[in-house]
Chain A
Amino acid sequence: MTKTRFFIVTLSALAAFFSPSCLPVKEYQKNRINDSEMTLANRKVEKTELNAQTYREGSSGANGGKTGGGCGCN
């Protein structure tokens, strides 16, 4: 399977996964969703790990962190 087809299939699967399963959730039903450990982001305490991964690995981005530049590094 070519990379482009793999990409399209993956994105379609994700769209199929997300959309039919979405149930209406009222504000008073969000006690678990609003838990601080359910946040859809990296923790502040992970900052140095993420920076080290950016410096020691060639790829970056799609995680709320840097995508390049901002330092004297590649």
Chain B
Amino acid sequence: MRRICLTVVGMYLTLLHAFSQVAPADSISYKAKKLKLDEINLVSSYYNQTADKSSVMGGRTDYKGNGDVTDLANGLDIKFVGFDSKGRKHSLSGGLGIDYHTAASQAYVDSNGHARNNGTRIYPTLDWSVENATKGKEFGLGAYYSAEHNYYHSIGLNTLLSKKNHHNGEFSVKLTGYFDRIKMILPAEFDPVDSVKSTSSADSVVYVTTASGRTEALTYVNGQAVSTSSKNVVPSRLRDTYTASFSFAQVINQRMQGSIAMDLVYQSGYLGLPFHRVYLNTGKDTVENLPSQRFKFPIGIRLNYFLGDNIIIRTYYRFYIDNWGMVSHTANIEVPVKITPFFSMSPFYRYYLQKAVNYFAPYQKHTTSDQYYTSNYALASFTSQSYGAGFRIAPPKGIFGDLNMLEIRYAHYTQTTDLVADVVSLNLRFK
């Protein structure tokens, strides 16, 4: 009897043990992860330029230093990353840029040099993208806004599509639009009326140059000023820029990868700037006048090669042509040298060659029969060179706690137009 009971108990326990090996729940399905702070980048730069042929002065060289500029630029980018229930990676990035500049030429919007010579630009950005690593596809949307004293606003919108193939290649398309509203701040000598006292009795908007050299708009009704606020509307003109960017990147072998990028750009609207003077051969000055359409076609190639164990060679070439007659070539080489696995030094050199647009002529070389005219030396024929070096520190455990990477870079830039510039930049990355 005891044997039967023990046998039954043993069988029961065996059955229990047999059914204890339950297959675990399916672990293949993705678990959604909320957006989490992934990376913060802080980029600060100081830019200093000396030049004598500013476009505000119509390319005159008798006002030495009239093209001098300083700029302090600061940008903050914050990136969040998360995953949805289908395993797709979502990235959300927000950025804010604040630039403060001084420009000697800006003071000469007023013919006596009394206009303000500084300004602040603020430009936030927002970008979102979703990546399906399994299918190798990515889709993104972005928005941009910019404001500064010489234009009401600039709004930018973009969308991105990219696809990877099974051969380590990636094709991307990005569509971008910028919609600018330019304030028509004329040089003071071109203000319609230069004195409040000579106002007519009709309803009108009168533009006056104040003692500080600023151009202000006063609204008059029946000859009476109804508002003297400087917030009265200065006339504006629109400028639209549409860009279709195509790029293809390919891993060539274990040490080399390259890419080719091409943009199709169309601009329309007011493509000059209202405070750029042009002095004709008669001695009379006027405001630059440029066509209202521009087609641009740049195409660029990158090729990076890992030489040995410590040296990387980064190269870039761009060819550019547009329907205003400009042709340019850009060639750049940078050679990062890894002093240690976490510290590298990167000397670089850039050469640029530009042929002028059809509408450019120097000071007092334009004639009264010219339909379009500019003396902006950014559109002239010249060559430029830029060289410098960068230093990058990125130890795996960080530098000071969360400071993941520090990069500092110096560049010296010269043009054959006698423009010389220096820029120092710092990038701090926190993870």
Residues 56-74 of A at the B interface (beta carbon under 8 Å): 56-64, 66-74
Find chain B residues with CB under 8 A from A72 CB: 148, 150-151, 154, 180, 182-183, 273
A69 touches B267 (CB 8 A): yes
Q: A56-B378, A56-B415 are in contact. Are A68 and B254 (CB under 8 A)?
A: no
CA distance A43 to B332 in the complex (A): 14
Find chain A residues with CB under 8 A from B267 CB: 68-69
Size category of the binding interface on chain A: 35 or more
Q: Which residue of A lies closest to B274 (CB)?
A: A72
Find chain A residues with CB under 8 A from B302 CB: 40
Partner of B240, one of A3, A58, A69: A69
CA distance A14 to B301 in the complex (A): 9
A49 touches B386 (CB 8 A): yes
Total B residues in contact with A, Cβ cutoff 8 Å: 98
CA distance A67 to B426 in the complex (A): 24
Interface of A is mostly: loop
B154 touches A71 (CB 8 A): yes
A74 touches B258 (CB 8 A): no
Is B234 interfacial (CB 8 A cutoff)?
Answer: no
B261 touches A64 (CB 8 A): yes
Find chain B residues with CB under 8 A from A39 CB: 304
Is B167 interfacial (CB 8 A cutoff)?
Answer: yes
Q: A48-B423, A59-B298 are in contact. Are A69 and B326 (CB under 8 A)?
A: no
Residues 57-115 of B at the A interface (beta carbon under 8 Å): 71, 73, 75, 77
Return A41 CB to nearest CB of chain B, in Å. Answer: 8
Return B393 CB to nearest CB of chain A, in Å. Answer: 12
B258 touches A18 (CB 8 A): yes
Question: What residues of chain A have their CB less than 8 Å away from a CB belonging to chain B?
Answer: 3, 7, 10, 14, 18, 21-25, 29-30, 32-33, 35-40, 43-49, 51-53, 55-64, 66-74
The 5 closest A-B pairs by CB, nearest first: A69-B178, A69-B241, A62-B300, A48-B45, A61-B298
